[in-house]
Structure 1
Amino acid sequence: MGRQEKVTTSLAGTVGEEIGAFLAPVDAALERDYPGDPGTRQPVHTVYVPGDVFGAGTVRSWGDRALAALDEHAPDAAAFAAVLGLDGALAEAVYARVRTKLEREPVEDLRVDFEDGYGSRPDAEEDAAAARAARLIAQAYEDGTAAPYMGIRMKCLEAAVRDRGIRTLDVFLSGLAEAGGLPDGLVLTLPKVTYPEQVTAMVRLLEAFEKARGLAPGRIGFEIQIETSQAVLAADGTATVARLIRAAEGRATGLHYGTFDYSACLGVSAAHQASDHPAADHAKAVMQVAAAGTGVRLSDGSTNVLPVGPTGQVHDAWRLHYGLTRRALARAYYQGWDMHPGHLPTRYAAVFAFYREGFERTAARLARYVHRVGGDVMDEPATAKALSGHLLRGLDCGALDLAEVTGATGLTRAELDGLATPRRGGGAT
């Protein structure tokens, strides 16, 4: 105790400088290629609505139709819990939050579809639909009725539809610009990507638009839809999806898995095309590893089994959708597609149950870590990052309330954000 230790070194003082110079390119590559999660909200789903169907009341209509489905097929918490197998202790809270969500914010992310859901139309008709989508989305953001995220899925950049896709993108973005500017929640989706050059072409298109409109370089990002086997694995055996992210030059915001196009590409029969098929699991695992640390987020696909018809049939579809959503969440696929208003109750039920059922233990673990209190689990900074990220996702979607999270952890929203997105080198990567 109190003994002064002798400190001895052997390396010359210049060694550290030499190592630093040697690794400088690696340091730059890490900052460029693996910036980490952006720390912004990720929607729990994406709703696709054909360009000719989308209207000013679409978001509210989806919420009303979802509430009507609950009223008809699960009018109270006990009935809903019985269908989904919800724990009794969670049933009331989950059901109440689902209804509140459908009343307040039924859709988190909406894509006006000009691809498969829209099909091939006369040019004048698609021009008008794209201009109309721009006008309605601009109006929705102005009057407060917009979903947090909204945008379009254009046609792909393959030769047969390339010109049409480019024109629709131009008409839509120009319409937004003329209506007051691009909203912060703007999202664009590029489908059926096969080669990195198609992603680079999208980057060049957006660069040209930004220049034409006097926007800051890099203002517009986009999602890459993974619907072909070649987008996952190239002919030389390498992971194409990693090259797609790099080709986006920092503009890629998400990788969206296309359940049915991808399954069909591999020859999976229609009866077995689903998001839990082994082929789907392989594709999403490759996507997940390629995107990790890049700031590009992953989205699962959809189910085409719709909750319509008699109550028994609706319940079967609900159980399927709930199970697939819970399965995806456990695999860290925090976003998926919803194809019908009847999917919204089970989307939010699955998400809310996922975040609420582990809330007390998650909050307690994080509090012990932050306040250096011992417990039955020894957590590291990387785990603290995951714990705080889990709570933040729950807050963003409405599964959790800030007051209860702060009460259980002693942490503010800003402190949670700091733990979830630490600076590089802080031990949490």
Structure 2
Amino acid sequence: MAQQEPVPTSLPASVAPALGASLAAVDAELARRYPGGPHTRQPVHTVYVPADRLRPGEPRAWGDAALALLDRHAPDAAAFAAVLGLPPEPAAPVHDRVRAKLLREPVEDLRVDFEDGYGRRPDAEEDAHAARAARLLAAARAEGTSPPFLGLRMKCLEAPVRDRGIRTLDVFLTALLAAGPPPPGLRITLPKTGYAEQVAAMARLCEEFERAAGLAHGALRFEIQIETSQAVLGPDGRATVARMIDAAAGRAVGLHYGTFDYSAALQVSAAHQAPDHPAADHAKAVMQAAAAGTGVALSDGSTNLLPTGPAARVHHAWRVHHGLVRRALARAYYQGWDMHPGHLPTRYAAVYAFYREGLPDAAARLAAYAAGTDADGVLDEPATARALAAFLLRGTDCGALTPDEITATTGLTPHHLTTLAGRPPAL
């Protein structure tokens, strides 16, 4: 075999190493701040239950209430589709999957609330509720009935309630750990966060508890709730959210938009406080840009329109909620708050229809990308392929799609799909 002639170049050999050395700090900073992701399952919703109302078997109670509402107001696929305006083709599989989900795993993420939904109580009463909530969650885990994600929303770290919030977290975690190691889906929600210093204090609080309880460093992680104007635009005119993520020192797992506190802070009238208000869109766009590539997930807020009362009112609330969830999904807000069992049918209907309707196009494009061709004139780049793979994985995580369906339509194994999406392989 003939030896190839060297290709001529002009730059001295020392240039590339010198540039690499000059950018080493930037490389390290990129790796620290932007590890990618999130690369694991993200729940499609968070259910908030005031601590004093938490019952044994809470997720099952929500599922039963949601099924009863479905049976009363949309007993079959056709009726459900008519209420929500679903196309005929996906109506039956969506309806079937919603019912199956409500039977199997009605709640994906349960947060016991000690903040606005709970209020101020005597210390002894809140202590008792914190310990009881932890015991109930630990018992559910032992019985195999626990949702995949769970935790508490503590009071914020503002001066009037700071000590109470710290104590509640301490009581709750101490009681939870008495039953065993912390569950892998444990989440702590820190509300009304407006300053990076508050997030840094929360990170320190987690570290101090880990040290006191003998937990591994990083075992405790938390969500930052964005519900003050200072969280989006600081007093110095700088965007605050990115600074808060950095201040969490790797412990932030989510940014949650707080619909009503944030709207009220901006003087939005009560009749117009909703997740689709322009002020909400602006806040979430800032959150989304700040979280991109950091591994921190984004969650939408809630609606206060409840599906209760006569059928006409239930149907109206369902249509509004379904539309809000579909709108959020299109904007890449893949999680939201649900405040009532009646929100579960429309949450899952919107999520399942979103993924099932998107399956044919996503599968065709991903199969073409894997084969090195185009799909009906669309030539996707690696970044879009990652997004297509992530879309299909999200669909399987929540039960909208099955691995067999994805393999049949893409020709890709689950391992190939996770590789394309940039997720680490399952252990």
Same fold (TM over 0.5): yes
Residue 272 (structure 1) aligns with: 272
The aligned counterpart of 2:239 is 239
SS in 2 for 1:320: helix
Counterpart of 2:236 in structure 1: which amino acid? D
Q: Give, in angstroms, the shift of residue 3 of structure 1.
A: 12
| Alpha-carbon distance in structure 1 between the residues aligned to 2:361 and 2:262 | 38
Runs of 4+ aligned residues of structure 1 deviating over 3 Å after TM superposition are 2-6
Q: Contact between 2:221 and 2:252, CA under 8 Å: does it hold in 1?
A: yes
Partner SS for 2:145: coil
Aligned to 1:289: 289
The one-letter code of the counterpart of 2:126 is E
Query: Equivalents in 1 of 2:266, 2:7: separation in Å?
Result: 63
Determine the C-alpha separation between the residues in 2 that align with 1:90 and 1:84. Answer: 12
Corresponding residue for residue 76 of structure 1: 76
Q: Is the 8 Å Cα contact of residues 39 and 417 (structure 1) preserved in structure 2?
A: no
DSSP 3-state at the match of 1:181: coil
Aligned amino acid, residue 380 of structure 2: D
- Which secondary structure state, in structure 2, belongs to the residue aligned with residue 52 of structure 1? helix
Aligned to 1:206: 206
Amino acid in structure 1 at the alignment position of 2:145: T
Q: TM-score, normalised by structure 1?
A: 0.97
Q: Deviations over 1:309-366 (max 9, x none)?
A: 0001000000000000000000000000000000000000000000000101111110
> Map of 1:23-422 to 2, 5 A cutoff?
23-375=23-375, 376-421=377-422
Give the whole-Å Cα distance in 1 for the aligned partners of 2:349 and 2:36.
29
CA distance in 1, matches of 2:211, 2:416: 38
SS at match of 1:274: coil
Q: Is the 8 A contact 2:396 2:403 kept in 1?
A: yes
Aligned to 1:426: none
CA distance in 1, matches of 2:5, 2:367: 36
Moved more, 42-51 or 215-224: 215-224
Q: Which amino acid aligns with 2:7?
A: V
Distance in 2 (alpha carbons) for counterparts of 1:251 and 1:167: 20
Q: What is the Cα deviation at residue 414 of structure 1?
A: 2.0
Report the Cα offset of residue 289 of structure 1: 0.4
Q: What is the DSSP-based 3-state SS (H/G/I as helix, E as strand, rest coil) of the residue aligned with 2:342?
A: helix
Q: Partners in 2 of 1:324 and 1:398 — Cα distance?
A: 20
Measured after TM superposition, the shift of residue 408 of structure 1 is 1.1
- Whether contact under 8 Å (2:374, 2:380) holds in the other structure is no
Give the superposition deviation at 1:5: 7.1
State the percentage of identical aligned residues: 70
Q: What's the CA shift string for 1:122-165, capped at 9, x where partnerless?
A: 11110011001111111111111001100000000001000100
TM-score by structure 2 length? 0.97
Alignment check: 8 A CA contact 1:47 1:110 kept:
yes
Alpha carbons 1:259, 1:273 under 8 Å: kept: yes
Distance 1:318 1:50 in 2: 23
Q: How many equivalent pairs are there?
A: 422
Aligned equivalents of 2:246 and 2:9: distance in 1?
42
Shift of residue 20, structure 1, vs aligned partner: 0.7
Please give the alpha-carbon distance, in whole angstroms, between the structure 2 residues aligned to 1:203 and 1:39.
22
Equivalent-residue separation in structure 2 for 1:3 and 1:358 (angstroms): 52
- Amino acid in structure 2 at the alignment position of 1:328: A
* Structure 1 residue identity aligned to 2:408: G
Contact 1:190 1:224 in 2 (8 A): yes
SS in structure 2 of the partner of residue 146 of structure 1:
coil
Cα distance, 1:219 vs structure 2: 1.2
**TM-superposed deviation, 1:6:** 5.9
- Over the aligned positions, Cα root-mean-square deviation in angstroms equals 1.3
Amino acid at match of 2:412: L
Matched to 1:414, the amino acid is H
